[in-house]
Amino acid sequence: MLNLKLEELPMPTTDRSIDRLVGWFVESFCFVRRKGDATADYGAASPIHRMLRDHFFQYPQKSWDAQELSDELAMTPAALNHHLARLSQSGLLSYTNEGKGWRTYILRGGGLSQALELCFAQYRLILDQKMQLLQPRWQREGVSLPNEIAEESQLPLNLSIVDYRSTQQDASDLTQWMADFGLLGDRPGNEILHNSVSEQLFDFLLNTGTPVSLDDVHEQFGGQKARLGRILERFRACGFVERIPRTDRLASALWSAMMTQHQRRGEDWLLKKGGFMRIIPEKTHASLLQPLAKGKLTVEDVQQAMQNIDASEQMLLLNLLGGRLPLGYRLVGHTLEDCQQIMTTRFDRVLRRIRRVGAMIEEVLSPGDA
């Protein structure tokens, strides 16, 4: 059964050695769990690295039986089978039981580029099919925030792709779907159970149009706020959720910052260091400073004064005033079709990088460069 995990990594830069390229490939497919900082040899001593570099990538049209690989890599059959299973589940290798009783393995299509194209076609099809399973559950309305600002920096995509399988015992259809995409982490544990916190939170996002802050989520579900934050960040890493500034609360955040700084530092500081003279038109100063002096400034006054000022400039003003704007989480895309398109675009970007590195590996290992 197809079962893999892909992680978005920066392309290799100056070092295009075979070990660097194969190490990048192994990390992108998450074949080896990374521990600690990166090493100078790019994991070249690991069995799966050597297996790919010296066998399947070096001789792509040759089949290898498990006994031969076990002898050459000096590995126990159990350890070898673990790595071969990971490679087979990713779709890169195919195998047959014909012959001497040992399974023989070969790179699909007789070459790395061919194997990748076969895999990518399967990955995309599974992604498309599984996204459609959300259709009955998607109830959130595509409502944009006033002065909406896009997410500043996305997390690198970290997505699992699993072929269709029946729902596990005590799991729900939704938690099984979430587990297959990696939304429940590498070891879901109790989170795969029906009505788990992760399921409730994701279902909440499926029915909520406005971004919700961590405080909103904590008020809704209780429990440990740090745990809720980790779940939401895991949703972000899988690409299904974005974190954007709550610009619907921008006016109230500015009001709070103006009131606080006026009480602490006064009008002159607001004008010079607080950003009033830099960002707010001079003709609007009085509409803010006079109510501030009387202690009667309202959120509506601030909203009126800011209506012709760009959201990014308002964010800068809030920063100069020392205020903070909460961030909100929501599903990407206004509709399921939008969400699917965004996911496909990000996924294709990862596949393009893998395809490019695969071509580099073939170039380095080609007979002319040996």
Summarised one tens digit per residue, pLDDT across range 286-321 is 999 999 999 999 999 999 999 889 888 999 999 999
The Cα–Cα gap between 236 and 205 comes to: 12
For the ranges 141-145, 240-244, 261-265, 269-273, the lowest mean pLDDT is seen at 141-145
For the ranges 10-24, 32-46, 89-103, the lowest mean pLDDT is seen at 32-46
Q: How far is CA 103 from CA 59, 100, 198, 199, in A?
A: 17, 8, 40, 40
Q: Where are the domains of the chain?
A: 3-127+349-369, 139-246+327-334, 248-320
pLDDT digits (tens, 9 = 90+) for 113-129: 999 999 999 999 999 99
The Cα–Cα gap between 90 and 83 comes to: 11
pLDDT range class, residue 370, cuts 50, 70, 90: very low
pLDDT at res. 255: 96
The Cα–Cα gap between 344 and 26 comes to: 22
Stretch 35-54: mean pLDDT: 78
81 neighbors 67 (Cβ within 8 angstroms) = no
pLDDT range class, residue 147, cuts 50, 70, 90: confident
Task: For the domain made up of 3-127+349-369, give the CATH fold.
Answer: Arc Repressor Mutant, subunit A (1.10.10)
In the structure encoding, which two tokens stand for residue 56, read together? 């399947």
The Cα–Cα gap between 20 and 121 comes to: 26
Considering the chain, what is the average pLDDT of its residues? 91
139-246+327-334: CATH architecture = Orthogonal Bundle (1.10)
In the structure encoding, which two tokens stand for residue 89, read together? 């589940």
Q: Is the pLDDT of residue 92 over 50?
A: yes
241 neighbors 228 (Cβ within 8 angstroms) = no
In this chain, the answer to whether the domains covering 3-127+349-369 and 139-246+327-334 adopt an identical fold is yes
pLDDT at res. 191: 93
In the structure encoding, which two tokens stand for residue 210, read together? 């406005």
The Cα–Cα gap between 57 and 38 comes to: 23
DSSP string, 52-63: IIIIITTSTT--
pLDDT at res. 19: 93
pTM for the model? 0.88
Stretch 213-232: mean pLDDT: 93
pLDDT range class, residue 100, cuts 50, 70, 90: low
Q: Is the pLDDT of residue 35 over 70?
A: no
